Amino acid sequence: MSLSSFQLSSARAWPAGASSLSDPDTVGDDPGLRQQLLRDTVTQILSAPVYDVSIETPLQPAARLTAALGNQVLLKREDLQPVFSFKIRGAYTKVSRLSAEARARGVVTASAGNHAQGLALAAQKLGIVAVIVMPVSTPAIKVHGVRSRGAQVLLHGDAFPEALAFALALAEERGLNFVPPYDDPAVIAGQGTVGVEVLRQHSGQLDAIFVPVGGGGLIAGIAAYVKYLRPDIRVIGVEPEDSNCLQQALAAGKRVVLPKVGTFADGVAVAQIGAHNFALCRHWVDEVITVSTDETCAALRDIFNDTRSITEPSGALAVAGLKKYVAREQCRDQVLVAINSGANINFDSLGYVIERAGLQGLSD
């Protein structure tokens, strides 16, 4: 089905911002419910008002990676967003769909940093009070980014689960609206606009899209849109070896809680994939690849060599996974897209990245 015909046929299906399947656990393996969920998600993606605050980022050829790997590598530059991350898309989509009464109460969230900055900018744009709970391990550059946009920052817990519990308690105590960082249909819809842009920017051969995975908002949205219009394209998630909540959930056939998560790639340090996210990922994500810290650092260096920009560790995961996929499959002459999801890295951590990158990756 073409995009234009889908828009016409789905415009009357569900109101913008509403989910036809509010309980993701009801989807299960029912083919009809799966297709309804897919149509619902794509409908929401197409109506997401992301360009009020975000930009259409370039899909940039990576000449050095292309030459080294024997496949055309394209980098989706979400690190160029106003908050240096794709997260502004989902945060703004969710907040823009709140009622006037809900906006007046203010919003709260928990985030390792990028969703926090996205929500802070969204709230600032709409004149809404925002409270952001961040783990104490959050890089200082992300904390500053949130505060600079007028939001109140509360540091709590060593990792995301503790910050999340605290934020949910605040929402109930103060009457604030909780804005999920990933487990919400509107947030998934906003992130899914990345997939819209990729297919619009590259209409020819496209063999696989590599997507970093934390809670699953980005990959759920991209997978839904891409698989609806181009089911031939592989959608591949990439997670750190020590934070592979989606990979373990797919293996188990249900969501699992990791006993602990690594914090080097702090933007994806999530112990459990989101419920709405897993309802989509279990059917439309082809596989998940895990990468080591050294492989992530090497990918960060590779991105710098091609773009002269520095991503954060979670922003380099997709390239690390792409490289591992090519080595495993021994494929050539394919077209592969990697989502560079963010660039909020502490400058002080670059020494460690340089040291670890020297042990892996492409030669200069």
Catalytic residue annotation = 87, 341
Edge-first strand listing for the sheet containing 130-134: 152-155, 130-134, 107-110, 177-178
For Cα atoms 208, 305, 116, give the angle at the middle one, nearest 5 degrees: 70
Residue 358: other Cβ atoms inside 10 A: 12
As a whole number of angstroms, the distance between CA 34 and CA 15 comes to 19
Residue 144: other Cβ atoms inside 10 A: 13
Residue-wise burial string across 183-194, b where 16 or more C-beta atoms lie within 10 A, e elsewhere:
bbbbbbbbbbbb
